[in-house]
Amino acid sequence: MNIVHIAAEVYPFSKVGGLGDVLGALPRAQWKAGDRVYVITPLYREVIDKKYELKRISLEFDVWIGGKKRKCRVFEYSYDSTYKVYFLFNRSLLAKGGVYTESDGSPLANSTERFVFFQKAALRAVSYLAKDADIIHCHDNHVAVLPLYKKLRYKNLRARTFFTIHNIGYQGVADMREKGLFGLPGSYFRKGGDLFWQGSINPMKAGIIHADAVGTVSPTHAREILESDELSAGMREIFVRTGRKLYGVLNGVDYDEWSPEKDRFIWKNYSMSSLDSKQENKKRLIAELGVDVSLEERPLIGMVSRLVEQKGVDILLEAIPSIVSLGCGLVVLGKGNRRYEEKLKNYQERYKGAVCVRIGYDYPLSHRIIAGTDFFVVPS
CATH architecture group of domain 2-248:
3-Layer(aba) Sandwich (3.40)
> What pLDDT sits at residue 151?
97
DSSP structure string for 30-44: HHHTT-EEEEEEE--
CB count within 10 Å of CB 267 equals 17
Residues 6+ apart with CB under 8 A from 152: 184
Q: State the pLDDT at residue 108.
A: 87
Closest CA to 72 of 130, 131, 145, 124: 124
Q: Do domains 2-248 and 259-376 have the same CATH topology?
A: yes
pTM: 0.90
Measured from the Cβ of residue 187, the count of other Cβ atoms closer than 10 Å reads 11
Q: Closest Cα to residue 23, out of 4, 1, 50? A: 4
At a CB cut-off of 8 Å and minimum separation 6, what does 17 contact? 9, 167, 306
72 in Cβ contact with 121 (< 8 Å)? yes
Per-residue pLDDT of the chain (380 residues; tens, 9 = 90+): 999 999 999 999 998 888 999 999 999 999 999 999 999 999 999 999 998 999 999 999 999 999 999 999 999 999 877 889 999 999 999 998 889 887 776 788 899 999 999 999 999 999 999 999 999 999 999 999 999 999 999 999 999 999 999 999 999 999 999 999 999 999 999 999 999 999 999 999 999 999 999 999 999 999 999 999 999 999 999 999 999 999 999 988 888 889 999 999 999 999 999 988 999 999 999 999 999 999 999 999 999 998 888 788 999 999 999 999 999 999 999 988 889 999 999 999 999 999 999 998 899 999 999 999 999 998 77
| Domain residue spans of the chain | 2-248, 259-376
Q: What is the DSSP letter of 110?
A: T
Query: pLDDT (tens digit, 9 = 90+) per residue, 225-278?
Result: 999 999 999 999 999 999 999 999 998 888 888 999 999 999 999 999 998 899
Q: What is the pLDDT of residues 84-96, one digit of tens each?
A: 999 999 999 999 8
Edge to edge, the sheet with strand 135-139 lists 55-65, 68-78, 84-89, 36-42, 2-6, 135-139, 160-165, 213-216, 246-248
Using CA atoms, how far apart are residues 2 and 38, in angstroms rounded to an integer?
A: 8
Strands (E), 166-317: 196-197, 200-201, 213-216, 246-248, 300-304
CATH architecture type of domain 259-376: 3-Layer(aba) Sandwich (3.40)
**pLDDT score for 18:** 87
